[in-house]
Structure 1
Amino acid sequence: MYRSLHHGWTVAPIGREEPAETPATVPGCVHTDLLAAGAIPDPYADDNELRLGWIGRTDWRYRTSFDWQDEGFDRVDLVCDGLDAVASVWVNGTEVGRTQNMHRRYRFDVTGLLRPGANELRVDFTAPYTYAEAEAGRLGARPGPYAEPYPFIRKMACNFGWDWGPTLVTAGIWRAIGLDSWSGVRIAEVRPSSRTDGVDVGITVERAAEGAVEVAATVGDVRVEGKLAPGQAATTLRVDVPGARLWWPRGHGEPHLYPLVVTAGDDSRTTRVGLRSVELDPDAFRVSVNGEPVFLRGFNWIPDDTFPARTTAADLRERFGQAIDAGANALRVWGGGVYESDAFYALADELGLLVWQDFPFACAAYPEEEPFASEVEAEARDNIARLMGHPSLVLWCGNNENIEGHQHWGWPAELDGRSWGAGFYYDLLPRLVAELDPGRPYWPGSPYSGAPDRDVHDPATGTVHIWTVWGSRDYTHYADYTPRFVAEFGFQGPPTYATLRAAVSDEPLAADSPGVHHHQKAVEGNEKLLRGLGDHLPAPATFDDWHYFTQLNQARAMSFGVRRFRALMPYCMGTLVWQLNDCWPVTSWAAVDGGRRRKPLWYELRRAYAPRLLTFHEDAVAVVNDTATPWTGLLRLTRRALDGTVLDAVSLPVSAGPRAVASVAVPFAAGDVRRELFVAELGAARALRFLAEDPVVDYPPAELSTEVTPVDGGCAVRVVAHTVVRELALFPDRLHPSAVVDDQLVTLLPGESVTFTVRSDVPLDPAALVAHPVLRCLNEARP
């Protein structure tokens, strides 16, 4: 019998008088408790973050009391699903255990410590900086990207700040805590290993009394029974499912799930499993599910909130919906965050989203000495067992960019022989995956080219991360890459106006105003935003121009890369954009900003991630068909003047087979590149290629007519173009933060129209909705 202990908590600093003891929410953390009590300002607003560093350097005490009565159970365990991170746990004045790992679950036998009536539970947290800096001093410094000690503590690394995240170092009871009362036997672990024809169910039990134990596993209508002899703690039951319905990823079939019920004595566990196989071709880095290769179209995932206890199941469903609506079939859980919640993976199972799971190591050298090594093994065992039953999980990855760091960032000289994590990535973690989860591939790190002596930057094998673009090169440099799998690539853009305005109180709001600058964590980030405009877009004259141009440039850059790499299918079999989400309001690489609003990038990726994509690729048109049926028809290619006049035209039969790409050479050359464009059309799909950069294209001043009509929950905005209208965008959140639009960055040729649907909690001014700066296009102000 499980009983949660989530009520009646208080939190107070240890060794300092202020702030006084305040009510605490469990699960939660110190920052959110102090915020709720009014003891600190909003950490996400303006530069308040800078005044909150003391929290991570303070010891904290959480305390509650609860009533308990002896109901005759053999055992009562205190179960802690997440303590962040270095803590001592006390029941009625007796220490029952110590922890030093945010990523593990803990269970403490408290049977003899509880008493009828009132009981006290206390958790004392050592300041993360105190622990991590002491370990760094003991073990010796390790290279990393920031002057922060995160490699020395098993804790969410990005708590210590990142180039998109704040430095807000947390402590607290961040996942469930409660009492588990049981007798006889309890199921300690269920490890389902799926096949296409059934499940091998590993069962481990803990006993409070000796004797044989009857165990059983039921998958759907199939039940298999077994017995554990006295003293035997574990067994595996093979459950074969005749005529099994398989679990498939999005775009490949139904993600069918079977109920799995496991019993041991009087204890039982119920979950869901999907029957499927997964394989990885290591050189091509091609993931196959049920024998069918899958092009991974997706995003990298970071913690959805700097304070992850605040992320709810509803938040996850909204964010997954945004990923899926953008065309994604995969998410990579990045190694600077956490192993996500059970709800995260269960939702991915339900929706058919593939999950790549990094072990939590990122961008730094990590010590392999004790007690760190034992903590890594314990957390890996815990989480492999916890997550392996999820069919959505298709890959374990040892780390993010640590092998690259050792090869290319000068680490060997800095380390001077000290350990850096190689033993984890090449030995410990693959051994544990092979032992506990042998049906799922393991990959030592990303980027990685398949062997320790291969250069991780080699795009011909394994995975690459492309950061030359954004870091130093124009986004057209993506065309110089012919990769197998792009696991990270990104380009920055500011958040939506409503998100930025809610977080920054600067008056006036400007690209270089203090609050906007504070909400830009990348080195030379704003400078790179402007440099990145290059020859592609005009120099912004106002804040409104800066906001529109840099968001547009982000969208174009990532669309260029995605389209390039998808056109290389099946040689290239994956693009994981950095990144889907933000953990706070910030200028970043995300498609969905820290206010949960979709940036223009999101809308452009929805086009670039369409299952059937028409795109100009080098001197041809690529017909990209990531569906199970052929894509055939007449491809119409035209060369047009900006006024819509057709200068050349040809229609050619084309056929792209299932999961294949067809290429058709463009049969004509441009005349005047400043006044012409190419258009490709196949059915409802269309691709445009403007032949010169926007500042030199001879756009006419935009001529358009608009009509705003009410619809349920908002309004429809119809725009008719009387000239070419380039990159038409509607930003209704400038009028009210609840307002959202269904499309962005639409280019219209003369005579064409588009209708935007705007949803809003309040009526919007129709005139303002179609006026600058809410309605924008690139040629709106051409002389």
Structure 2
Amino acid sequence: MRWPHSVCFFWLVFLFQSGNSGLPSEIISLQGEWQFWNSNKTVNGTGNVPGDIYSDLYASGIIDNPLYGENHLNLKWVAEEEWTYHRKVLLHREDLTPGYFLDITSLDTIATIYWNGEKVMHTRNQFVPYNVNVTDLVISGYNEIRITFKSAVKYSKKRAEEKAQYSYAWDWGPSFPTVGIVDDIYLNVYRGHLFHDFTWKTNFVKGKWHVEFEFETFHYGSRTVDYVVEIPELGIREMDYYRMSSRKSMQSRSKNRLKFSIPPAKEPERWWPNGMGEPKLYEVIVSCGSQVKQRKIGFKTVELVQDFINPEKPEQGRNFYFKVNDVPIFLKGTNWIPVSMFRNKTVNFEKTKFLLDSVVEVGMNVLRVWGGVYAQVDRIAQFPSLLVFSGNNENEAAIRGHWWKTANYSENQQVKDYVLLYKRLGKITKDDTYLIPRCASEYGVQSYPLKETMLNWIDKSDWEYTSKEMFHRQHHPGGIATNLLMIFQHLPIPSQCDGIALSNISQCEYVTSSSYMSRLAYFSQIHQAVALKTQTLHYRRFRNITTDDGLGNTMCAMYWQLNDVWAAPTWSSIDFDQNWKMAHYEAKRFFANTAVFSFADEADFNLKVFILNDNMYDLKNVTVNVQQLSWGNGLDPILTNEFNISVVSAASSQIVETEMKFSKLNDLADFLYVTTLYNSTGAKIHEDVLVPDFLFEVDFNTFGDVRIGEVKKIDDLTYEITVTTDKVSPFTWISCKKPFLGWFTDNGFHMIQTLQKVRLISKVPVDLQKTDFSVCNLKNCYV
């Protein structure tokens, strides 16, 4: 799967590899083992670069795993210390004296660099690379490199510097204010000049692609160099000569540009986001003499459309959506936070790859990368998967603080809008609870990781809702109380809490005990999955629909959040151990390019059905089948209706007039509705199941007895599991007791037939037997 290039990003987090440059330059890697110690040398060990102090202390056996138990509290002393990293490198000065400079991608953060005891640089910004000329300090033999890091905690008490904000904790993560050499570090040796890097920009104007390359060169004295750019697949070869000048004894950096146009006859194929086409990439080769670098280049256009919804009624506001390659795109995705609190590049790369595979698997086409992480503007600016920089959404503080001029927006209106948007209460599983924005870029509710994940990171004795450790891991203000309140608005309060009102449910000792915690975590994942489904489909159905007062034409739905930095109650849909939560399986259904869904419209007691078509082509001659099932009537529907639709336009949301009425709201608890979309040949395209909002009103004894049937090994990475039931089985959950890196093709689903086959897809070979699998549903999961 070509996962790095198949998703549009607001802020990309995948590293492209570049080729090595040839002679006359040489790159000496300074990665690997370094010695480290604290200010009084009472703590010391061998670290691994790139990395960070917590990872090195743990690898040296000096501290326990920082993410286990209460170590996020016990290890605060690490951030209070000043740390030094040290190593030596053997060099041989030649008669023809070359130039030497340190090439440092990132230092975290307040650091001083010494070469052979001489201070050569002080750094204060984690987000920028540093190039340090050490030519005059290099000796023949062993050269000493020493980098000292001040305590970020102590330093930041005096002033703020450019360090990743999340390292001081957030509502989804702990505080680990790291220091260290957190990215690549090299000694570049060159004779005359060094081709250091190149970037490019593409622009499509009047039917022709224009490309501009920029080359970065380090050099001594005056010289002429030539640069050649080749895109072999397009038959393109462009070159130019550049005169560079500097004093002979001084190292200089020059940036030179090469511009050219691609003839229409050689017009490249477009790069497309996931679900819209192929992410076409071309190899680009840039050479400066014998020094050569290679990367991948893609060609796409992006346009932000902000015209008036109704030019005759400008008070109704403007559109807000993007076109990619002149095609409007509904942005479907989530928000990305760091993959780790620490900077282990190998581990983090593997996590990043798995997360991106998981994003593509469920049909997302966009990631909004949260801004409190690592700024990488220069590195990713030319990536074809970059959609836009600075996709901010929390603008109220900036507007109120007058950071920029905002016309016709009084402070009184700002207060009213804040109260309207952020102080609302409602049933989050009801469609009409939600507002109708142009773009929803951050929304969600918390859930707990299941027992299998949490007990890897806390002691079994701490596995209860209000234990000291679980309390410390809940960083959302009021989260302890509000999660219980929201969950039990929809799911049954255990009988052990009879007589206790919902508003006081936290006073029930059984609910907060270890005996109930696993069941509660499962309930929390149901609650999160249903809430995200309801809200996301609400936004999607307004894709090309506007109300009389101009609301609608929603073109964006990105829930908060994708991933975790530790095992804790958060908004993630994939937990810290890389297990998909129920919400991520649900995302595969609610983000499908072609989807059907229904909801109960309480305004007219009608079942509303919508067909969503995000494809770039029309759907023709499709059939919608709606079945009404009663919990006490087994798997046989009590009512079936079919509707034939001749055309569902490309890139649209279309309502199906069902006129399926229900007499009163309480009736909804007695039934579930199954809506299925079939194509013209009768093949199933998509299925949606609408379950009651108040599941506590349903008799759980009417649910099916679900079992694992046959388990068949397809290959070393794939197993097929057959699940059976005798009655409707809501929120069916398959578990595997052996850890595996991967996912099921479906999970957390509603079984409305006696048999369903699901596959386990693993990223690494795994040996499994039938006894490794178990299955449960809303009746008996974690009881």
- Taking structure 1 as the reference length, the TM-score comes to 0.80
**2:84 maps to 1:84:** no
Give, in whole Å, the separation in 2 of the partners of 1:508 and 1:94.
Answer: 51
Out of 3-12 and 532-541, give the one that drifted further: 532-541
CA distance in 1, matches of 2:431, 2:626: 26
What is the CA-CA distance between 1:269 and the residue it aligns to? 2.8
Write the mapping of 1:409-424 to structure 2, written as runs, cut at 5 A: 412=401, 422=403
Distance of aligned partners of 1:456 and 1:336 in 2 relative to their CA distance in 1, 3 Å threshold: farther
**Matching residue's letter, 1:527:** A
Query: Residue in 2 aligned with 1:551?
Result: 525
Once the two structures are superposed, the pairs formed by residues 223-234 of structure 1 within 5 Å of their partners are 223-231=237-245, 233-234=255-256
User: Are 1:686 and 2:687 counterparts?
Assistant: yes
- Cα deviation, residue 191, structure 1: 2.7
Paired with 2:380 and 2:746, the residues of 1 have a C-alpha distance of 36
- Unpaired runs of 5+ residues, structure 1, are 136-151, 340-382, 413-419, 427-449
Q: Distance in 1 between matches of 2:639 and 2:197?
A: 69
Is contact 1:716–1:758 with CA below 8 Å preserved after alignment?
Answer: no
CA distance in 2, matches of 1:39, 1:172: 17
Match for residue 322 of structure 1 among 358, 364, 367: 358
Match among 7, 10, 13 for residue 38 of structure 2: 13
Instruction: Report the alpha carbon displacement of residue 658 of structure 1 after superposing the two structures with TM.
Output: 1.4
1:674 Cα deviation (Å)? 3.2
CA positional deviation for 1:777: 1.8
Equivalent in the alignment of 1:183: 191
- Check whether the contact 1:157–1:336 (CA below 8 A) recurs between aligned residues: yes
The residue type equivalent to 1:496 in the other structure is L
Structure 1 stretch displaced more, 155-164 or 177-186:
177-186
- Indicate the residue corresponding to 1:674 in structure 2: 669
- For 1:134, the equivalent position in structure 2 comes to 158
Q: 1:240 aligns with which of 262, 267, 274?
A: 262
* Pairs within 5 Å for 1:251-266: 251-266=275-290
**Secondary structure at the counterpart of residue 583 of structure 2:** helix
Tell me the alpha carbon deviations over residues 430-452 of structure 1, each in whole angstroms, 9 at most, x when there is no partner.
Answer: xxxxxxxxxxxxxxxxxxxx979
* Equivalent runs, 1:285-324 vs 2, <5 Å: 285-310=320-345, 311-324=347-360
Deviation string for 1:395-445 (max 9, x for gaps)?
A: 0117563x322446xxx5xxxxxxx9x48xx9xxxxxxxxxxxxxxxxxxx
Q: Secondary structure at the match of 1:193?
A: strand
- Counterpart amino acid of residue 579 in structure 2: R
Describe the superposition over 1:100-134 as per-residue Cα deviations: whole angstroms up to 9, x where unpaired. 01111000001111111111000011111222111
Q: For the structure 1 residues 465 and 740, does the alpha-carbon distance in structure 2 shift closer, same or farther, using more than 3 Å as the test?
A: farther
- Give 1:187 deviation, angstroms: 3.4
Which runs of structure 2 are paired with 1:311-390 in the superposition (5 Å)? 311-339=347-375, 383-390=376-383
CA contact (8 A) 1:674 1:697 kept: yes
Rounded to whole Å, the distance in 2 between the matches of 1:651 and 1:92 is: 80
CA distance in 1, matches of 2:562, 2:283: 31
Structure 1 residues 179, 746: closer, same or farther in 2, change over 3 A? same
Q: Which amino acid aligns with 1:299?
A: T
Structure 1 equivalent of residue 566 of structure 2: 584
Q: Tell me how far 1:574 sits from its aligned partner.
A: 1.2
Give the counterpart of 1:727 among 716, 731, 743: 731
The answer to whether the 8 Å contact 2:332/2:364 transfers is yes
Task: Show the 5 A alignment for 1:503-522.
Answer: 503-507=457-461, 509-522=463-476
Report the counterpart of residue 600 of structure 1 in structure 2: 582
Q: What are the Cα deviations for residues 217-269 of structure 1, in whole angstroms up to 9, with x where unaligned? A: 22232111222245474223224152211111111111111122223455443
SS at structure 1 position matched to 2:469: helix
> Which residue of structure 2 lines up, in the alignment, with residue 215 of structure 1?
227
Q: CA deviation at 1:468?
A: 5.8
Q: Secondary structure at the match of 1:615?
A: strand
Q: TM-score, normalised by structure 2?
A: 0.80
User: Pairwise CA RMSD of aligned residues?
Assistant: 3.1
SS of the residue corresponding to residue 554 of structure 1 reads helix
Amino acid at match of 1:101: N
Assess if the C-alpha contact under 8 Å between 2:625 and 2:640 holds in 1. Answer: no
What is the CA–CA distance in structure 1 between the aligned matches of 2:410 and 2:575, rounded to whole Å?
A: 36
Aligned counterpart for 2:442 among listed residues 488, 499, 503: 488
- CA change 1:667–1:157 in 2 (3 A) is same
Distance 1:297 1:456, change over 3 A: farther
Distance 2:493 2:191 in 1: 72
Measured after TM superposition, the shift of residue 78 of structure 1 is 0.5
- Higher RCO (C-alpha under 8 Å, 6+ residues apart): 2
Provide the C-alpha distance between the structure 2 equivalents of 1:299 and 1:313, rounded to a whole number of angstroms: 19
Identify the residue that residue 564 of structure 1 maps to in structure 2. Answer: 538
Q: How far apart in 2 are the matches of 1:472 and 1:566?
A: 20
Number of residue pairs the alignment of both structures matches: 675
Q: Label 1:113 to 1:239 Cα distance change in 2 as closer, same or farther (>3 A).
A: farther
State the Cα distance separating 1:295 from its structure 2 match.
1.2
Contact (CA 8 Å) 1:464, 1:488: kept in 2 or not?
Answer: no
For the residue of structure 1 that corresponds to 2:36, the secondary structure is strand
**8 Å CA contact retained: 1:327, 1:610:** yes
- 1:61–1:122 contact (8 Å) kept in structure 2: yes
Letter of the 2:174 counterpart? P
CA positional deviation for 1:741: 4.1
Cα drift, residue 95 of structure 1: 0.7
Aligned residue identity for 1:487: S
1:528 is the counterpart of 2:482? yes
Task: Give the direction of change, closer, same or farther, for the CA distance of 1:456–1:628 in structure 2 (3 Å limit).
Answer: farther
Instruction: Note the C-alpha offset of 1:270.
Output: 2.0
Shift of 1:309: 3.3
Distance 2:419 2:110 in 1: 35
Match of 2:594 in 1: 612
2:174 to 163, 166, 172: 166
Q: Distance in 1 between matches of 2:740 and 2:32?
A: 34
Please name the residue that 2:641 is paired with. 649
Amino acid at match of 1:319: L
Counterparts of 2:761 and 2:213 in 1: how far apart (Å)?
A: 50
Shift, 1:17, TM fit:
4.3
Aligned to 1:631: 619
Give how far 1:665 is off: 2.2
Quickly say closer, same or farther: Cα 1:721–1:708, change in 2 above 3 A. closer
CA contact (8 A) 1:700 1:724 kept: no
Unaligned runs of 5+ in 2: 1-25, 246-253, 307-317, 495-510, 545-552, 602-606, 679-683
Question: Match of 2:46?
Answer: 23
Q: Secondary structure of 2:153's match?
A: helix
Is 1:224–1:239's contact at 8 Å kept on the other side of the alignment? no
Native 8 Å contact 1:260 1:272 kept in 2? yes
The alignment partner of 2:90 has SS state of: strand
Larger Rg: 2
Aligned residue in 2 for 1:350 = none
SS in 1 for 2:213: strand
